[in-house]
Chains A and B, each alone.
Chain A
């Protein structure tokens, strides 16, 4: 009898190296030689795309406890709130201080500092800076937790409990990431605006009513800001999760995964910010 030949490595299995995230029974072994450089980057991006596809497919149908999502959302948002409020307050203070000083020098009129700052905060500063902070705080946490499970066979144990690691680990983190990102962007932006106003009032004798000038903000700015917060809420758990799921090699592997997650999430946020801004400019002329 001729033994059946081993199925060839699928693209999905190749992308994930040690195991198939899809758990579809493709080859689970390490590739003999892990590619490096641009090929590795393309493979990682592919892995993240596959993970995003599988996780979003399960977002509404996953059989996980709904409480998991709320617990994680609370953990993500509550654990990062103070850090983000403090950091964004400093960002607001610095931005208002610097822009007022420069405008004073250049044109001698600081009437529009508040309006310009608030527009910038809603469109870019709020979602993007908070996205980066979320990448450091939440992304690192997700990557470290999942990587620690990966290097201690806990992911295999999950599979053997007839549970899909993506359904059990990734879906609640994706849902919680979106909830946390949206709430943190709102809270952090408010803190930044308040700190900016305080700086204007205390250091430059600006009147609060002059600072709270929303004339430059329109619906498109709000939509863009919320869209960015939503996209970063998806990006951080997916990038961090993909890095964590493919971790191997004990404590050093967990450390590598955590670093890679912070770098990957931050890089993705910068690139996505540019893409979303460019798209809104090209499509809607905003």
Chain B
């Protein structure tokens, strides 16, 4: 469904990713791990056209993302949603208005119809009571749930999460894991999760890729990850820095 083919990118003159290749199957929960600054977020931003690789190709359902024009990217972003690390809700709107926005803008629905449908998505995630609250008044966990509801309104085939459990308390983080493994997986949505949270990765991932110094250091199932003998991989999952 998603394919990275020899992708390289430099930022600010510094190479970040070099010849990265792997593919992600439909319905899979795929985790990208690695140290901070290794290019994990860059990987998923490239997938939705927010960044362009220097070379290589990224394909979503066989279509080359890098060659897409504005209209193509709009269509892609309906099928491939992304939840940012900071949730990025619009502070000038209530939670309900935030969730209704894609429906209003994209499907041209009148305000009340968009809000009716948006309410359904908030209810699915158990946060309908937050509808009239302003995002600024919510904690990071609730903001993320509202952001996921907003992304769900376009009924994407794939969801990208950028460090979803960062800043969450352990209970909220496990709740997120249940959401990924439960309703989102049952809906057949392909999920790509960028994470530092090793426990969460072992709980949810079907497969994992670990990036190190711009290259793929490990690619395999979470079971294979736990048994991997590579010094760098073990150091990361056991939280032992190389000195």
Contacts and interface: CB of A to CB of B under 8 A. Distances in A.
Do these two chains interact?
yes
Interface of A: 1, 3-7, 19, 22-30, 32, 63-65, 67, 145, 149, 152-154, 156-164, 167-168
Contact of A162 (B8, B89, B154): B154
Interface string B141-167: 000000100110010000000000000
Contacts of B72: 25
A32 B105 contact: no
A131 B72 CA distance: 40
A169 B28 CA distance: 36
B50 A28 contact: yes
A160 B150 CA distance: 10
Say whether chain A's binding surface is mostly helix, strand, loop, or mixed: loop
B14 to A, nearest CB: 9
B52 A27 contact: yes
Interface string B58-69: 000000101111
A6 B102 contact: no
Given A25-B70, A29-B52, A163 B86 contact: no
A161 B50 contact: no
B69 A25 contact: yes
A245 B73 CA distance: 20
A65 B111 contact: yes
Contacts of B56: 3-4
B212 interface: no
Interface in B110-168: 111, 147, 150-151, 154
Contacts, number: 102
Interface string B62-102: 00101111101110011001101010111010000000011
B26 interface: no
B108 A153 contact: no
A3 B6 contact: yes
A25 to B, nearest CB: 5
A153 B52 contact: no
B114 to A, nearest CB: 10
A6 B10 CA distance: 11
A71 to B, nearest CB: 10
Contacts of A1: 5-6
Contacts of A3: 5-6, 8, 55-57
A18 to B, nearest CB: 11
B84 A153 contact: yes
B99 to A, nearest CB: 10
Contacts of B48: 160
Contacts of A29: 11, 51-52
Nearest to A64: B105
B214 interface: no
B54 interface: yes
B239 interface: no
Nearest to B73: A25
Contacts of A157: 84, 88-90, 147
A67 B102 CA distance: 17
Nearest to B8: A3
